[in-house]
Amino acid sequence: MNTVLSRANSLFAFSLSVMAALTFGCFITTAFKDRSVPVDIHVSKVMIKNVDDFTGPRERSDLGFVTFDISANILLIEKIATPIFDWNVKELFLYLTAEYTTKSNALNQVVLWDKIVLRGDNTKLNLRDVKSKYFFFDDGNGLRANKNITLTLSWNVVPNAGILPLVMGSGHKSLAFPETYETAKSY
Amino acid sequence: MLSAFKSIPTHMDYKGQKLAEQIFQGIILVSAVIGFIYGFSIQQFGWTVYIMLAGFTISCLLTLPPWPVFRKNPLNWQPAVPETSGENRDKPQESQKKKKHK
């Protein structure tokens, strides 16, 4: 501690250690929070086609088209009154999943649409007549006349410090696909 | 220009060093506690970091330059030994060092 450089070294190292302790404290205060939010999903139109899937095997596969509405107020969490954007949240990554069972596979999960919500963006989601962003291909022909396809909205919380929790919204919507190809079914 | 920087005296005596260390540790800890509480109350971690940086700057200004308060207890050096007996002691030591290098 006799020269400026050694004092500066000591001071800087101490500040960094204290900063690391503060970041750990920030993580601890938000690690055990329950982050599920009620979500309302409504589907307006559903259609299937049977086309060649060039990324898979050479037979024709089912391709689904879903048009949906989502409304969720993710600012407020169900049981606790703290906002979802607490001091340890940098951004949210939302995605809509379709989950169903077919004869060839017991569990299929397909992501249809996603969105990034940054800190400071509007957190009330009120989307109407949204088309799916990604192709809803099935591995085979399991979508036709499938009675039970469940849509759920989930999100990844990207924190400032700590683990990334994966949360499921507490509302989901089941729908059935039409019996024949190229005919739209409205809800 | 570097020699101009190196010639500025920056030493502190031992009690001054202890005082400087206590000062900067105290300031950083106090600003950490204030920053944590303020950041938690407005739910923005950015403010915690800003308050910590302010504490860091204050303690830099207070402890890095050798203020006179850190030089209140200077060391009592012994008076310098006259030069002739000093040379006699140095020469045999130097020749011993040269032998060790070979």
Q: Domain map of chain A by residue range?
A: 1-30, 33-175
- Residue B28, judged by CB atoms within 10 A of its CB (0-12, 13-18, 19+), counts as buried
Strands A39-52, A60-73: parallel, antiparallel or unpaired by DSSP?
Answer: antiparallel
ipTM for this prediction: 0.75
HEC string of A22-49? HHHHHHHHHCCCCCCCCEEEEEEEEEEE
pLDDT at A150: 86
Q: Assign B97 a pLDDT band (cuts: 50, 70, 90).
A: low
Residue A19, pLDDT > 90, answer yes
pLDDT at B89: 56
**Tens digit of each residue's pLDDT (9 = 90 or more) over A40-98:** 777 777 777 777 777 766 677 778 787 877 776 655 544 444 567 788 888 888 888 88
Residue B28 lies in a domain: yes
Distance from B12 to chain A by nearest Cα, in Å? 6
Domain that holds residue B34: 24-67
> What's the number of domains chain B is made of?
1
Distance from A7 to chain B by nearest Cα, in Å? 6
Residue B47 lies in a domain: yes
Higher-confidence position of B36 and A154: B36
pLDDT at B50: 94
Put simply, whether B24 touches A (Cβ < 8 Å) is: yes
- Measured CA to CA, the distance from residue A119 to residue A114 in angstroms comes to 17
pLDDT at A181: 75
Higher-confidence position of A143 and B80: B80
Q: Which long-range contacts (CB under 8 A, 24 or more apart) does A76-84 make?
A: A76/A37, A77/A33, A77/A34, A77/A35, A77/A36, A77/A37, A78/A34, A78/A36, A78/A37, A78/A38, A78/A170, A79/A34, A80/A33, A80/A34, A82/A33, A82/B43, A83/A123, A83/B43, A84/A35, A84/A37, A84/A123, A84/A157
What mean pLDDT, rounded, does chain A reach? Answer: 80
Distance from A168 to chain B by nearest Cα, in Å? 23
Higher-confidence position of A151 and B28: B28
Higher-confidence position of A40 and A20: A20
Residue B8 lies in a domain: no
Residue B37 lies in a domain: yes
Give the whole-number percent of chain A exceeding pLDDT 90. 11
Residue B44 lies in a domain: yes
**Tens digit of each residue's pLDDT (9 = 90 or more) over B1-48:** 777 777 788 888 888 899 999 999 999 999 999 999 999 998 888 899
Residue A124, pLDDT > 50, answer yes
Residue B12 lies in a domain: no
| B64 interaction partners in chain A (CB closer than 8 Å) | 4, 7-8, 11
- Measured CA to CA, the distance from residue A112 to residue A175 in angstroms comes to 15
Do the Cβ atoms of A7 and B20 come within 8 Å? yes
